[in-house]
Amino acid sequence: MQLTRQTFLLFGLNLLDAILTIYWVHYGFASEGNILMAKFLDVGYAPFLAVKITVGAIASIVLWHWGNLRLARYGLIFALIVYISLMGVHFVTGLSAFGFLPDALVNESTAWSNRFFAFFN
């Protein structure tokens, strides 16, 4: 079973993630959470975008090519869940950046997430 639409969706979400990340970082609303990609972002927007697009394209091509395998289908579902969730984070970042969320809510959410992730360290 070929997963053409799903892999195009994955690549599109990857590209949208890259563009939104560049926007949020450029205007100081957020920072890149992935340490490796943050290094590319420190070099410049073009290297960051090139790496992000390359990795996304390779992942999409591999998942599309081996879409007949159960592991590829599960991997694609997992990746789509992660990227759709990430779009939710971008949405909340946008609401915060443009003043639609009160600062107290943003600060409390940040403190909660820091406590949550500190649990795993």
The residue among 110 and 18 whose pLDDT is bigger is 18
Mean pLDDT calculated for residue range 100-117: 84
Q: How far apart are the first and last CA of the chain?
A: 40
Question: What DSSP state is assigned to residue 1?
Answer: -
SS3 for 2? coil
Mean pLDDT calculated for residue range 84-109: 90
The residue among 106 and 55 whose pLDDT is bigger is 55
Count CA atoms closer than 13 A to 4's CA, side-chain side.
1
Mean pLDDT calculated for residue range 6-26: 96
Q: Is 10 exposed, middle or buried (0-12, 13-18, 19+ CB in 10 A)?
A: buried
SS3 for 92? helix
Task: Fill in the amino acid letter for 53.
Answer: I
Domain ranges of the chain: 4-118
Q: Is 86 exposed, middle or buried (0-12, 13-18, 19+ CB in 10 A)?
A: middle
Q: What is the pLDDT of residues 44-92, one digit of tens each?
A: 999 999 999 999 999 999 999 999 999 999 999 999 999 999 999 999 9
